[in-house]
Amino acid sequence: MVDSVYLHPLTLVSGPQATDGDAVRLGGSMAYAREFALVLRDLDGTVAGRIITTPAGMAAAIARLPDPAGREAARQWDNLRKVHAPLQLGNRTVRLDQPQVMGILNVTPDSFSDGGTKVDPQAGRDAAAAMLEAGAAIIDIGGESTRPGASATFEDEEIRRVIPAVQYCAAMGAAISVDTRRAGVLEAALAAGAHMANDVSALRYDPRTIDLVAASACPVVLMHAPGAGEDLHADGKYADVVSEVFDFLKLARERAIAAGIAEDRIILDPGIGFGKSLGKNLALINALPLFHALGSPIMLGASRKRMIGALSSEEEAGQRLAGSIALAFKGMEAGVHLLRVHDVAETVQARNVWRGLRDAALTDFSQLPPL
């Protein structure tokens, strides 16, 4: 009996014109796919699959599957083509029909990326203003370091760090996300002017958070991390990291919906760097198009991650800009909706160039007369 179904977009194209209209737009983004892999996994772990060369062929292959696999495959096929509504964050509307940049504002003294340089309120205020001016759609404020081996942060200390940053970002009119897994921090942040939750535990760490998110109706990012307790990086053992992260996010999404969180308020993040080796991270990034089949917008947080250093000369976090841009470009090609980054101006510039290339590709063949 088939236990799980996975629809992998394989061949990405610059637009439907490149395939005479025979391409699928992924998640309402500017990414398009022509060929797909239909992968089935049995209860005993046996995996089988086939390559489907056209969207019409995929529809026919799904129609031949027995239920419940057929129903699940049809649901994922619909999800791949789902157009996501914009995020309404205070007075700001964040459209998801092109990649949007989320700027990271870490107000922790032991931040892996900048060594705590944004703890000073004026420095944090200046950094937030610069990110907004450079084109950040959202500012993501974090008051707890989640790097491997980081010291534990107590809730009251996290609140003390985060709230002033929320207040000065709110005064700028920013769309504000709060990177926290604690209900008390989120509640205080929402009261201070934040609009969105970014929970690295996928609402598992603090049992109060899921009800708070449902009651407040704020958008929420659910991220994959193998650890359920204090250490998010624990228990990172995988037989097949792509399918296991997919299954985790599917269940996290279903759990959130069952708790009363609206589908259009959920964003999913595969959790690059959290309890995953270099090889596992690379596999997930190469499989990003698959995650559109879950039916929610996708966020990619790969900026300055250690994998970049591991692939080059073990550069420190502040020397990983080029690798961060490469990973952001890979995410844009896969149809990722939100890019969570430290280097906002550079990423926005890369996004704008990518957007120009994609716009041009959508019209390259439109003026050609028929043969």
Above 90 in pLDDT, residue 203? Answer: yes
Q: Average pLDDT, stretch 299-311?
A: 96
* pLDDT confidence of residue 370: 67
Q: Average pLDDT, stretch 1-5?
A: 79
Position 298 confidence tier, pLDDT thresholds 50, 70, 90 = very high
* pLDDT confidence of residue 185: 98
Above 80 in pLDDT, residue 148? Answer: no
For residue 319, the 8-state DSSP code is G
Distance separating alpha carbons of residues 317 and 106, to the nearest angstrom = 14
305 catalytic, yes or no? yes
Domains delineated in the chain: 2-80 (no CATH), 87-358 (3.20.20.20)
Asked whether 23 and 34 are in contact (CB, 8 A), the reply is: yes
Position 364 confidence tier, pLDDT thresholds 50, 70, 90 = low
Give the tokens for residue 180: 């926290």
Position 118 confidence tier, pLDDT thresholds 50, 70, 90 = low
* pLDDT confidence of residue 368: 64
* Whole-number percent of the chain with pLDDT over 70: 94
What does pTM read for this prediction?
Answer: 0.94
Q: Name the CA radius of gyration of the chain, rounded.
A: 20
Distance separating alpha carbons of residues 237 and 22, to the nearest angstrom = 39
Distance separating alpha carbons of residues 360 and 14, to the nearest angstrom = 9
**127-136, 146-155, 191-200, 295-304: least confident range:** 146-155
Give the tokens for residue 6: 């996975």
**329-357: b (≥16 Cβ within 10 Å) or e:** bebbbbbbbbbbbbbbbbbbebbeebeee
* pLDDT confidence of residue 158: 96
Above 90 in pLDDT, residue 365? Answer: no
Tell me which H or E stretch contains 121: helix 121-134
Q: For the segment 40-95, what is each residue's pLDDT rounded down to a tens digit? A: 998 777 888 999 999 999 999 999 999 999 999 999 999 999 999 999 999 999 99
Catalytic choice (204, 280, 340, 358)? 340
**223-232, 261-270, 336-345: least confident range:** 223-232
- The CB density around residue 185, as the number of other CB atoms within 10 Å, is 28
* pLDDT confidence of residue 75: 97
Above 60 in pLDDT, residue 112? Answer: no
* pLDDT confidence of residue 339: 98
Torsion of CA 60, 61, 62, 67, to 10 degrees: 120
Catalytic choice (305, 320, 351, 358)? 305
Q: Average pLDDT, stretch 324-344?
A: 98
* pLDDT confidence of residue 110: 63
